Amino acid sequence: MTFSATAVLLLALLAALLITIGVWAYTTANRLDRLHVRSDLSWQALDAALARRAVVARAVALAMTGPGSTAIAVTGPSSLTGASSAAMAAAGPISGADSAEQARSLAALAGRAERADRAEREAAENQLSAALSAVDIAVLRPQLVAELADAEARVLIARRFHNDAVRDTLALRTRRPVRILHLGGTAPLPTYFEITERATPAAATGLDVDTSRTSARVVLIDERDRVLLMRGNDPKTPELSFWFTIGGGVQPGESLRAAAVRELFEETGYHADPAALRGPIWRRVAVFPFDGELIRSEELFFALRVPGYEPDPGNRGYVERRSITGHQWCVGADIVALDASGETVYPYHLDRLLPEALAAASAAGDPEVRSIR
């Protein structure tokens, strides 16, 4: 039995294709394994940061009633003895019986957060965050304020890196070829961890950041109630994309509205009247790595309704030209789909926030600003 030259060529091409698919599948499976390990390790780091914050929260509660109070039981995991000792050393008696109830609630919430399982952890930690935000840090000793600020900052950073690890894992794990070939095996999909950030400024951030800035952002809405989102990436990790609203840092001497209008023109080419902006409607504090730097940004969001148009950048800067790769007008379902695809949309849960922005954009006056994530 003999084969023709065509048959031999086809067999060779088929063998080369199978080898190529096998090599790709092998390397992708290994990469997925490394991403899952990264997600697991980032969760462990976040879990440790949350546990340390709970210890400091109990120290704050103890300081609000005095170390001799029997109303608060200060206990914690044995692995946190060092952190607990440092926090207790910083805690001192704070006069005022009216703080006793707040202190008992804070201690109870800290204990509940430590005992919560993974499914309930997010809700418990959010309740603790709200309780800590309600504490008047002006009455705490400086050492304890510094301890609390450091604990909160570590949680913010750990949460950011965990969510980034989850995003990277989901971006690869949810690709169609990966799902078809079951390259992820039986490992469960990692999940994001959302936690409310402090809505009131702490006396110290405790952050070792390269840049702190204030940003003006615009929730741009067209006549079909769609919001314009920009697609971009960190220049250091160009293969990982995410979505965000229009905006950027406020320049020295520039007002928030002027910055919002300038950024809107630079990124989309649209000339807006500053008086047409509604807001700020939201305030968000974010800590994130970008282009090799760790940035702490306080973001203020405006709402603006415009006729739909095709964005044409007016004057993007060097960093924007490197990092912005696309745009899309989105309704709520589109935002959910983008998040599900592994490309995170900022701010978080924008699909749920969109009705609020729609109402603000159509209102005659400016609404009251509130904190979001």
pLDDT value of position 16 = 84
Q: Determine the 3-state secondary structure of 193 from DSSP.
A: coil
Give pLDDT tens digits for 225-268.
999 999 998 887 788 889 999 998 888 888 889 999 999 999 99
How many domains would you assign to the chain?
2
Q: Do 141 and 242 lie in a common domain?
A: no
Mark which of 134, 163, 193 sits at the end of a domain: 193
Q: Where are the beta strands (DSSP E) in 162-321?
A: 211-221, 227-234, 237-244, 246-249, 278-290, 293-305
- On whether both 142 and 263 belong to a single domain, the answer is no
Residue 20 lies in a domain: yes
104 and 162: one domain?
A: yes
- State residue 81's pLDDT score: 39
Q: What pLDDT, on a 0 to 100 scale, did the predictor assign at position 71?
A: 35
**Do 1 and 149 fall into the same domain?**
yes
Using one digit for the tens of pLDDT, what is the confidence trace for 64-88? 876 444 333 333 333 333 444 444 3
Residue 10 lies in a domain: yes
24: its two tokens: 């790709």
Do both 276 and 232 map to the same domain? Answer: yes
44 and 167 fall within a common domain: yes
244 contacts: CB under 8 Å, gap ≥ 6: 229, 230, 232, 345, 346
% of the chain with per-residue pLDDT over 70 = 83
* Residue 81, domain member (yes or no): no
> Does residue 198 register a pLDDT over 60?
no
- Count CA atoms within 13 Å of residue 21 on its CB side: 11
Average pLDDT, the chain: 80
| pLDDT higher than threshold 70 for residue 297 | yes
Residue at 77 is within a domain = no
Is residue 168 domain-shared with residue 314, that is, in the same domain? no
Check residue 196 and give its pLDDT.
Answer: 66
- From 111, 147, 107, 154, select the one nearest 131 (Cα to Cα): 107
Range of the domain at 33: 1-67+97-193
Q: What is the pLDDT of residue 79?
A: 37
Q: How many CB atoms lie within 10 A of CB 101?
A: 12
3-state helix, strand, coil in the chain (%, to 5): 50, 20, 30
Same-domain pairing of 147 and 242:
no
Percent of the chain past pLDDT 90, that is, above it, reads 27
Domain-terminating residue out of 133, 166, 193: 193
Residue 199: which pLDDT band, with cuts at 50, 70 and 90?
Answer: very low
327: part of which helix (H) or strand (E)? strand 324-330
CATH of the domain at 257: 3.90.79.10
Q: Residue 339 contacts by C-beta under 8 Å, 6 or more apart in sequence?
A: 345, 351
